[in-house]
Amino acid sequence: MSERPNPQAAPQSEVVDFLTTRLGVTDRITTHISVVLRGADRVYKLKRAVRLPYLDFSTPARRLALCEREVQLNSRFAPSLYLGVRRITREADGSLALDGAGAFVDAIVEMRRFPDDALFDDMARKGRLTKDIIERLARRVARAHDAAAPDFSHGGAAAMRAIVDSMEASLRQAPPAPIAEIEAHLASLRRAFDALAPLIEARRADGKVRPCHGDLNLRNICLYEGEPTPFDGIEFSDDISTIDVLYDIAFLLMDLWRVGLSDYANVAFNRYLDARAEDEAEGLRLLPVFMSLRATIRAHVEASQGHDDTARAFFDASRALLREPHGAIVAIGGFSGSGKSSVAAALAPRLDAPAPGARILNSDRIRKRLFGAQPTERLPADAYRGEVSARVYEELVGAATRAARAGWPVIAEAVFDRAPDRAAIEAAARAAGALFTGFWLDADLAQRLARVDRRVNDASDATGDVLKAQATKDTGEMSWRRVDATRTVFETVDELAAGLPRVVTE
C-alpha cells in the first residue's frame, strides 16, 4: 500500500461529522462494525475502529485495505452498485477532505443507493417477491460461484466442525432457547457433520470450496435497476466467506423457507442446481445440515441483539431443518400443455423431504443445457431429433437415480409418451432402492393449446403443431395413474398428493 496512515488519525466521530456535512447525508445506520451514511442517491460505509474475534478494523490502514477488498469481492455480485473506495485525508490547514492531497486518515466505501423497499427482506414481508425474480437471483449466484476459483486451503470438515464449536460458546452467552435444548441441537449438528465429513472433504478436493458471498440472506439482497442483486458480502474473513458453494446458497434457501416462502426456496434450489455442474448424488445430503447451521447462527445473532422472539423462531427453524431425507421418484408425464411444470413446482415443496423440497428434473431444461442455451431460448428443430431426445431421457434418468440413491426425493417431469421411457424411470427407482409413483396428466387438446398460447418465458418450445402431432400418438399401455389436469393446478396437486401417502407431508 503506497499510503501510510497518519499517526494522528482523526477520531471517527470527527470523520462521521465531516462526511455528514460534506456528502449531504440524510440519515445514518450504526451497527457493531460499521456506520452507514445515506444520502439522496449515494451510500457511504465507514468501518468502525473495532477489533473482534473474527475481524480487525482497528487501524486506518487495515480499514482501507478491507474497503478495497469489499469493493473487489462484492463487484462479483453487484458491479453496478459498488462505485469504489474514497479516502479521507487531513489537509495542511488541519481540515478533513475527501480524496485530498493530505495525510490519509480513514476510508469509506461508496455505493449507489437503492430504494428502502427494494430489500428482499421487505419485499418478502409485503408479498412482492416473484418466481421470476427468484429464478434470476439463483442463476446470478450460480454464475458468480462458477466464476470463482477453487480454494483448497479453506473449508472442509474441520472448518465446519469449528463453526459448530464456536457456536456453543456464543449460544451460551446469548441463548435463544433453554440450554438443554441448545446442547441437544448442537450434539445433533456434530453427529451430522461427523457422518458427512468424507463428503465435505471430497467436495473440497473437487474444487467446490470457493470465495463466496458468505452472508447471502434476504437483508443482503436488493432489487436494483430491475435485477436481483446480492450485496454486503463478507470481506473481513476468508474463513467465513471462502466456503462450500452449497453452504453459501443454503443461507438464501433457509431464509426463504423461514419466512414461509417454501415454494420460492424450492425454485431457488432447483434453478441453482440447473445452472451449475452439481452432481445430485454428492451435494444434496449436505443441504439440511448446512441450512440448519445457518439458522443456528442467525438465532445467536438475533439473541445477542435482544430480539428474543426472532431468535427463538430461528432456533426452532434450525431444529426443524435438520432432517434425514428419504429417496423417492415421482414421475409426471403428459402431452405438452397438460400442466406438468406447474404441477411439479407446486408439488415439490410438499414432498416429505427436508427443506427446500424435491429436486425437479425437467426434460426441457436438460435439453437446453445440453445445447448450451438459456432456459427460455428457443432451440432449432434439429434439437428435437430422436437421438437427441434419447440422450435427454438418459440424462434425466441418470440424474434421478443419483439423487434418489442419495436419499433425496425427485420429481421427474417429461412427456413420457413412450413406454420404454416410462420403464426406464421406474427402473431408476428400483436401482436406487426408492419408492416410485407415476402420474399421467390428462387434458383435452383445446385446453392444452390455450395453455401453450398463454406461455411467457417458458422452457418448453412446444407449439400448436407439436401438440396436434402429439394427439395422434399411441402411448401404449398406461400403468401410471391418470389424473384429470383440466382443473386448477392446486386441485390437480391435491390429487397427486393424495396418491402419495408415504411421501407427501400435507
Radius of gyration of the chain (CA): 26
* 120-321 topology per CATH: Aminoglycoside 3'-phosphotransferase; Chain: A, domain 2 (3.90.1200)
- C-alpha–C-alpha distance, residues 197 and 166, integer Å: 18
E strand residue ranges, 195-263: 209-211, 221-224, 227-230, 242-244
Q: Confirm whether 12-113 and 328-498 share one CATH topology.
A: no
**Chain centre to alpha carbon of residue 68:** 26
353 grid coordinates: 423431504
* 12-113 topology per CATH: Phosphorylase Kinase; domain 1 (3.30.200)
- C-alpha–C-alpha distance, residues 349 and 360, integer Å: 10
pLDDT, residue 428, reads 96
**Are 326 and 407 within 8 A, CB to CB?**
yes
pLDDT, residue 281, reads 65
CA-closest candidate to residue 31, choices 313, 259, 304, 310 = 304
Q: What are the structural domain ranges in the chain?
A: 12-113, 120-321, 328-498
Q: Which residues share a beta bridge with 228? A: 223
Tell me how far CA of residue 177 lies from CA of 121, 287, 316, in angstroms: 24, 24, 9
pLDDT in tens, 98-135: 999 999 999 999 999 999 899 999 999 999 999 999 99
pLDDT at 137 over 50: yes
Which residue bears the cell 471517527?
Answer: 12
Question: Which residues, including other chains, have CB under 8 Å from residue 400's CB and lie 6 or more apart?
Answer: 329, 361, 410, 412, 425, 428, 429, 432
pLDDT in tens, 381-419: 899 999 999 999 999 999 999 999 988 999 999 999 999
**Are 263 and 270 within 8 A, CB to CB?**
no
What mean pLDDT, rounded, does the chain reach? 92
pLDDT in tens, 270-327: 999 999 866 656 788 999 999 999 999 999 989 988 999 999 999 999 999 998 878 8
What mean pLDDT comes out for the span 472-482?
92
Three-state SS string across 80-114, please? CCEEEEEEEEECCCCCEEECCCCEEEEEEEEEECC
* 328-498 topology per CATH: Rossmann fold (3.40.50)
Residue 502: pLDDT band (50, 70, 90) is: low
DSSP single-letter state for residue 148? S
pLDDT at 2 over 80: no
38 grid coordinates: 445515506
pTM: 0.91
Query: What does the DSSP assignment read for 157-174?
Result: HHHHHHHHHHHHHHHHHS
- C-alpha–C-alpha distance, residues 388 and 35, integer Å: 56
pLDDT in tens, 24-54: 899 999 988 999 999 999 999 999 999 988 8
CA-closest candidate to residue 229, choices 136, 123, 124 = 136
Give the chain's end-to-end CA distance (angstroms, integer): 59
